[in-house]
Amino acid sequence: MAMRIISQDQITPHFYIKTVPIYGNLILAPMAGYSDSPNRLIARRLGSAMSYTEFVNAIDITQDIRRVSTKLTYLPEERPVVFQVFDNDLGRILSSARILFPLQPDILDINLGCSAHSVSNRGAGAGLLKNPKLIADIFTQLVKISPIPVTAKIRLGWDDDSRNYLEVSHILEECGAALIAVHGRTKKQAYNGRSDWQAIAEVKANVKIPVLANGDVCTPDDITNILSVTGCDGVMIGRGSFGNPWIFSRLVRDDVTLTETLDVIWQHLELIENFYGSERGYIIFRKHLKAYLLPFSIERPFLYALMTAENSETLHALIMDIPLHIQGA
């Protein structure tokens, strides 16, 4: 399958984030450990309309940005690029933003949705949903100093007893946020239960800025259904894209052939080894390789050899032999 980038001069934008045109309505979600530049590039080439970095701790940015520089590295091909930041301190968020602006992202996003205990229990990520006044202060002050659009990614609330997504959405819009991405679960749910698409629809119906729907989107039918239910401007896809970047081309994963899969595997591996170096890159790539091969019945001893390859050269040689080790082929 030929990789592609949507040509920005041939189609009409699906929507705008302030003045930034977005050419497409499917977007790779920011995911810790996954949304690095190589993965964003693969998704972008197959149809993801913009590129969110992994979330970055404002403390790290203000203390020593070099420790998070890899997360903030991007190529022009990835634009529009969104830097996502998390913290629970207004001063640090403003200071980190001033450090990030010279790196020329297109958009700055504040994470109000991370459910990880290490983030939310300190009052950052989804922890901010418990403090609407602080959310208002952050966005009011950040929008004042920002030369680029400021956006937010939220959950429905801390738990079922505090689903304050409409209050938070109104605050965000009133304080200048240019877009809201909504994951249809509470912090307490984490990734359990079903994403509440009806709640996302309520957000879309009650604000005038663009809204992205997020949660439980794994197939082209899911894309169609969530857009129909929510009326949102776009769909943010996270876990449903693991090993399946073709979802951004609205392809059914089972219809993607082994040849097409291997084509993307080689391209992704090359991007990762160029980005991290071959010594580290081949190790990072293993999690992607396992996900890419999940639809195929790989002989277990061979799959084990792939996952435990001791160097880049061995992994390359094993990938060449994948077609020989598919059961029933």
Q: Which of 114, 175, 218, 232 is catalytic?
A: 114
Cβ burial, residue 147 (10 Å; 0-12/13-18/19+): exposed
184 in Cβ contact with 211 (< 8 Å): no
Find the DSSP H helices in 30-164: 37-45, 58-64, 69-72, 90-100, 117-120, 132-145
As a whole number of angstroms, the distance between CA 3 and CA 9 comes to 18
* Angle in degrees, CA 201, 206, 211, rounded to 5: 55
CB atoms near residue 54 (< 10 Å): 20
175 noted as active-site residue:
no
- Scanning the structure block, which residue is given the tokens 């604000």? 207
Best CA proximity match to 65, nearest among 114, 106, 35, 99 = 99
String of DSSP letters for 278-319: HHHHHHHHHHHHHHHHTTS-B-HHHHHHHHT-SSHHHHHHHH
What torsion, rounded to 10 degrees, do the Cα atoms 220, 165, 152, 188 define?
A: -80
Amino acid residing at 27: I
Active site residues: 114
